[in-house]
């Protein structure tokens, strides 16, 4: 078991190294932009995976935590001058608190009811933000550029710093998932997901267990939102709080394999470039062809590989991807 865990960590290190070398030969800005977004979604989807995958609580409201991270770090920067390199932790903390506040009542609901509740809560906050003047309302907030800086996390002359920032983010969230896989809390999550009643009879406290997952997931999502805000330099409710974003955060993990270390990476590596390319080639037609393609892909996976694309590589009847042997 320990050997398998160490092997995964090693594989993670190799993947990190390869990804770190990947952008070096890439010169054009469009491809680098795609790489940054993909890496951000690797991290975001892994963050979602902690709650939705390992713990089995399907949240369709993660845009709320993403938006909270984005707004908190941005407003702290604009009004109090707190540099975003610190502000992203504040954003993560606020997102974590929100995730706990949403989870505490909503975790009493099961299955679909929980998922619907998370949508509703996130949409309420989206509407509130649209009408909140101190958040810039519907017109959003610009982040003024004050020169390249790792403290303010602003870079104009090159996209490379953002590539590595996004890579570091994705790697750290992956590491968080790897660590949690081997802890008692991580085993509790999988037990709660598989059979909450059996878990309870083994002294697992189901609600606290879900709350730990929600807090970590919310924190990591919020940090991602803060990084995104600095990358784009402008946020409004539609770009950081809207419902489609919640779906986009969840999809890579679902496509790649829920509750697995590699699912979010695999899913994001396929989905994000696909969605960007189909949007630029097909989106202009105005008929939403890109979204149809996207939806069709999800349906195919749901029909043929409900455990995600990683299921293609799993040994039949063996440890499997969900086995949680860690």
Partner 1 sequence: MLQLEGVSAAYGGMAALHAMSLQVAKGEIIAVLGANGAGKSTLLKAIAGQVERRGAIRFDGADITRLPAHRIARLGINLVPEGRRLFPRLSVEANLRLGAYARRGEAGRFAPLDQVFALFPRLRERLAQRAETLSGGEQQMLAIGRGLMTQPRLLMLDEPSQGLMPKLVDDIFDAIRRIRDLGMTVLLVEQRLVEALAIADRAYVVQTGRIVLAGAASDIAADGAVRRAYLGM
Q: Contact between 7 and partner 1 (CB under 8 A)?
A: no
- Identify which range of 190-198, 236-244, 270-278, 292-300 contacts partner 1 by CB under 8 A: 190-198
Q: Write each residue from 291 to 320 as x if it is in contact with partner 1 (CB under 8 A), else as -, in one continuous string.
A: --------------------------xxxx
Tell me the backbone φ, ψ of residue 234, rounded to 5 degrees: -155, 130
Token representation of residue 291? 């979204």
Site string for partner 1, 30-59 (x = CB under 8 A): ------------------------------
Q: Which stretch binds partner 1 (CB under 8 A): 66-74, 98-106, 136-144, 187-195?
A: 187-195
Q: Chain centroid to CA 12: how far?
A: 18
Residue 322 beta carbon to partner 1: minimum distance, rounded to whole angstroms: 5
Q: How far is CA 130 from CA 68, 123, 197, 323, in A?
A: 13, 11, 41, 43
Q: Which of 54, 188, 231, 294 binds partner 1 (CB under 8 A)?
A: 188
Q: How far is CA 240 from CA 138, 263, 298, in A?
A: 12, 24, 23
325 scored as a contact of partner 1 (CB under 8 A): yes
CA distance 70 to 64: 10
* Beta carbons within 10 angstroms of residue 120's beta carbon: 11
The sign of the torsion formed by the CA atoms of 268, 235, 79, 156 equals positive
Q: Please list every residue from 237 through 256 that binds partner 1, using CB under 8 A.
A: none
Judged by CB under 8 A, the stretch of 43-51, 82-90, 186-194, 263-271 that binds partner 1 is 186-194
Question: Binding of partner 1 at residue 204 (CB under 8 A)?
Answer: yes
Widest pairwise Cα distance in the chain: 58
Place of tokens 């303010």: 152
Q: Does 187 bind partner 1 (CB under 8 A)?
A: yes
d(CA 292, CA 151): 41
Tell me the CA end-to-end span of the chain in Å, nearest whole number: 6
CB of 304 to partner 1, least distance (A): 19
Size of the site for partner 1 (CB under 8 A): 26
Decide whether 98 or 191 has the Cβ nearer to partner 1.
191
* Residue ranges in contact with partner 1 by CB under 8 A: 1, 184, 187-188, 190-191, 194-195, 197-205, 317-320, 322-326
């Amino acid at each position: 078991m320990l050997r398998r865990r160490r092997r995964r960590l090693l594989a993670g290190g190799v993947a990190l190294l390869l990804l770190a070398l990947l952008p070096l030969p890439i010169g054009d800005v469009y491809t680098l932009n795609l790489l940054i977004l993909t890496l951000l979604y690797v991290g975001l989807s892994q963050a979602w995976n902690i709650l939705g995958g390992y713990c089995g609580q399907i949240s369709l409201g993660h845009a709320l935590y993403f938006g909270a991270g984005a707004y908190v770090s941005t407003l702290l920067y604009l009004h109090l001058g707190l540099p975003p390199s610190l502000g992203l932790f504040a954003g993560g903390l606020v997102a974590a608190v929100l995730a706990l506040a949403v989870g505490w009542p909503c975790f009493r609901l099961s299955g679909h009811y929980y998922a619907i509740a998370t949508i509703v809560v996130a949409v309420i906050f989206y509407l509130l933000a649209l009408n909140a003047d101190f958040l810039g309302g519907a017109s959003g907030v610009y982040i003024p550029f004050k020169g390249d800086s790792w403290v303010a996390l602003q870079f104009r002359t090159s996209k490379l710093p953002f590539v590595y920032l996004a890579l570091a983010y994705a790697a750290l969230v992956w590491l968080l998932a790897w660590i949690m896989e081997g802890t008692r809390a991580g085993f509790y999550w999988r037990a709660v997901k598989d059979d909450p009643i059996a878990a309870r009879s083994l002294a697992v406290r189901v609600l606290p267990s879900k709350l730990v997952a929600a807090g970590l997931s919310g924190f990591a999502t919020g940090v991602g939102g803060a990084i995104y805000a600095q990358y784009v330099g402008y946020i409004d409710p539609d770009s950081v709080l809207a419902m489609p974003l919640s779906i986009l955060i969840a999809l890579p993990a679902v496509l790649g394999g829920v509750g697995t270390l590699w699912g979010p990476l695999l899913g994001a590596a396929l989905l994000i470039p696909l969605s960007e390319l189909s949007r630029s080639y097909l989106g202009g037609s105005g008929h939403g062809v890109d979204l149809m393609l996207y939806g069709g892909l999800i349906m195919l996976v749901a029909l043929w590989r409900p455990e995600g694309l990683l299921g293609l590589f799993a040994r039949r009847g063996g440890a499997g991807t969900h086995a949680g042997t860690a």
